[in-house]
Every structure is written in C-alpha cells, then in structure tokens.
Amino acid sequence: MSEPWEWPPEQLRAEIKASGLLGRGGAGFPVWRKWESMPARRLVGTSRRRVVIGNGAEGEPLSRKDAVLLQRDPHQVIDGLLVTAAAVHADELHLHLDEAAEATLSRALQQRPEASRIRLHRSAKSFVSGESSAVIGAIGGGPAFPTDRRLPASISGLRGHPTLVHNVETLSRISQIVRMGGNRFSLIGTPQDPGPHLLTVQRPGHRGAPVVLESTANASLVDVLFGAGIDPDSVSAVLLGGFHGRWTRMDESARKPFGRIPGAGVIVALAPQVCPLRYTATVTRWLANENAGQCGPCRFGLPDLATAVQELADFPRTAAIQDIQDIHRLMGQVSRRGACFHPTGTANLVASALQMFPDEVDAHLAGRCTATESIRESA
C-alpha cells in the first residue's frame, strides 16, 4: 500500500473534512477550512509556491504537550506534515521548534529520505512568538513578532507565498486520521470537537510536576483531574485553557463534559491555600512583560493593568474600590487594541477572575483573604 502522502489530494482532504478535526494550537479552527483557504495554484495574483509550517514552539508557558509529543512520536508529526503538504500542493515544508526538540527531530528526519526537504528552525522562546504571524516572521528571517495583517497568511505568508501554519499535535492527528479513517475519528469525543486531545495539567500548591495526558471533549474536569492523579476535592479553582483562558470553580459544571477542550488544553488546578486573585495578578504581570513592545495600548496598558490587579491582590495593604474601577477602565483600553490577540486575551483572563471570585474580591476589599485564612485554619 502506498504511503498516505502519495494519495490523491482530494482523498486526503475528504478524510480530514469527514474527521471534523479542530486545530490543537489553541484557536480550535476547523482544519479542513484552513486547507480550503489555500488558493489553487492557478489563481492569478498569488505566488505559485505553497508553504506548510509545523509549529511546535509552545508559547503557553505551562503547556508541555507538544514537547512530550515531539519526544515520543516525532514520526507521526513528520507524517502529518507530509500529508498536509500533499493535500495543499505545498513545496516548502518547515518545522518550528524549541531547542529541546531539535536533536530528536533532526535524528528522525535523517532516518527518512522522503522527509529530507523538511527544514528545522529554532524558536525564540516567548509567549507571542508562538502566534502564527510571528512564526512566519521568524522563519522568514525577521523578528518573531506578530504583524498587522493586511492579507491572511493563506494568501500571503512566508516571503509572500500562501502559507499554512499547523500546531504539531494537529499534524499528528492528521496522520492518525488518514490511517484510521476520518469517519472513525469523528466518533471519538464530541461532534463539536472530535478525536483525542493532549492536555497539560498543572497544580500550583500541590506537589509534583505537570502531567501530560490524553483525553477527549466528552470527559469532564473531574475526570481529567482524576486522570492526572489529583483529588478534585483538593482543588479550589481551575484555570481552563492557559494564561489567556478563563477561571472556573469546582461546582456542578466540573462534572459535565467539556464539549470542547479549552484553548491548547492547559488546565491549572489551584490548591485552596493559593489565592486565585494573587495567582491572576502574577500571571497578568507575566503576560504584561511578554508583550512584544510594538503596540502602544498593549505596551503601556498591560503593565498598568497588571499593577491594578496587583493592588487588589496585595491585601490588606492596598486593596481599594478604586482598584476595581481602574481594572475595568484598563481592560476597556487594552481589549481589541493590538496587532495580535495578546491584550484581549489578557483582559479576558482578568475579567474572568473578577467574575468568578466576587467573594474573594470582597474579602480583599475588607482586608481579608479567604485563601490565607484556609491556611491558618488548617495550621
């Protein structure tokens, strides 16, 4: 039997469409629609070269799934890249990786003559460098910053050629799908989010390293915590989908299926002695330091927002009603005002903390903190 990347492109596209696969990099966009956005070679006014980039540089600081995947199964990622290139008639293939994965991948590529045209690139490690326009910029020899897009990458990406960027887990799922069949893949998980997912579970305040596990969108948060070896009763709050994600509590919703896996599958489970407002303040500060310094509202607004959240979190020294008003004003001034999603995602995180933890906010304003009190009680 021929290798899947030797199959007719129409057949590959039909399998991926039948699978219902969503991208695994965080945005969750249907893969077949991304493929269809690549113009036909005949299209006048577009370059004839077609580029596919596999992105394994996890911008999410707590995500480990792509690193684990690249170590465990580099060939499945390579297969997915070859299949994708065949499906969209691409002639240029790149893999964008962290330094840690380079050795494994270059060894894997040397074992396969058909993969010799794949070029490896080392990523500059930062939160926004994983953004797809930043990846395209870095491979093209420019800075790894997002750009103000005039044209989508599928029309004008790397050096002006139509370009497709896929997360490396997406590529490995593509290779799975062509081997098992799109219809069978579509029956796993939920209809809105089919197939298996890699998740990274982190546990601040708990012991132990992050856990990478495979799950599906019909699992619940409680299932995933058990799967990671965490007692759900030892968890007070959970950040779903990483630093641009949203907060949730361990209420009834934690027993319901996700339906869709949040973001790039990063789940942060807080222990009760960790104050969620403080944790949010720390993350907001970290995100503020990660801005690429290009766009004014992001460059000035995120540090100011981080300071306002910090004032609220630093009870009982500074928290005041004024801080809440400042936070709301600053969220309005950074949301949707930058070349990439970073400022909006940061504001969303803060908004979700205010919404999910009103009692903690009130406690801080009254000069108390529920998390540190729980330490005192248990001491």
- Is residue 33 a contact residue for another protein (CB under 8 A)? no
Nearer to ligand SF4, 244 or 364 (CB): 244
Q: Give the interface segment with ligand SF4, choosing from 15-23, 198-206, 221-229, 340-348 (CB under 6 A).
A: 340-348
Q: Looking at this protein, which amino acid is placed at residue 285?
A: R
How is 135-175 classified by DSSP, letter by letter? HHHHHTTS-S-----SS-TTTS-GGGS-EEEEEHHHHHHHH
Determine which helix (DSSP H) or strand (DSSP E) holds 261, and give its type and residue range. Answer: none
The per-type count for the chain, helices as H runs and strands as E runs, is: 15, 11
Say whether residue 59 binds another protein (CB under 8 A). no
Taking alpha carbons only, the member of 293, 351, 314, 330 closest to residue 145 is: 293
234 contacts ligand SF4 (rule: CB under 6 A): no
Residue from the set 89, 300, 348, 370 that interacts with another protein by CB under 8 A: 300
| 335 counts as binding another protein under rule CB under 8 A | yes
- Contacts with another protein by CB under 8 A: the residue count is 20
Site for another protein (CB under 8 A): which residue of 106, 218, 294, 370?
A: 294
Distance CA 39, CA 1 (A): 30
291 binds, among ligand SF4, another protein, none (CB under 5 to 8 A by kind): ligand SF4
Given another protein, ligand SF4, none, residue 367, with its beta carbon under 5 to 8 Å by kind, binds none
DSSP-based three-state secondary structure for 372: helix
Q: Which does 335 bind (CB under 5 to 8 A by kind): another protein, ligand SF4, none?
A: another protein
Q: Which of 8, 142, 296, 316 binds another protein (CB under 8 A)?
A: 296
Residue type, 194: P
298, 313, 349, 354: which one binds another protein (CB under 8 A): 298
CA distance 162 to 112: 26
Residue selected from 184, 299, 328, 368 as contacting ligand SF4 according to rule CB under 6 A: 299
> Which one, of 276, 275, 277, 273, lies nearest residue 376 by Cα?
273
Q: Which residues have C-beta within 8 Å of that of residue 129, sequence separation ≥ 6?
A: 57, 59, 123, 135, 138, 144, 145
Binding ligand SF4 (rule: CB under 6 A), the pick from 215, 342, 357, 363 is 342
Which residue ranges make up the site for ligand SF4 (CB under 6 A)?
A: 128, 145-146, 291-295, 298-299, 338-340, 342-343
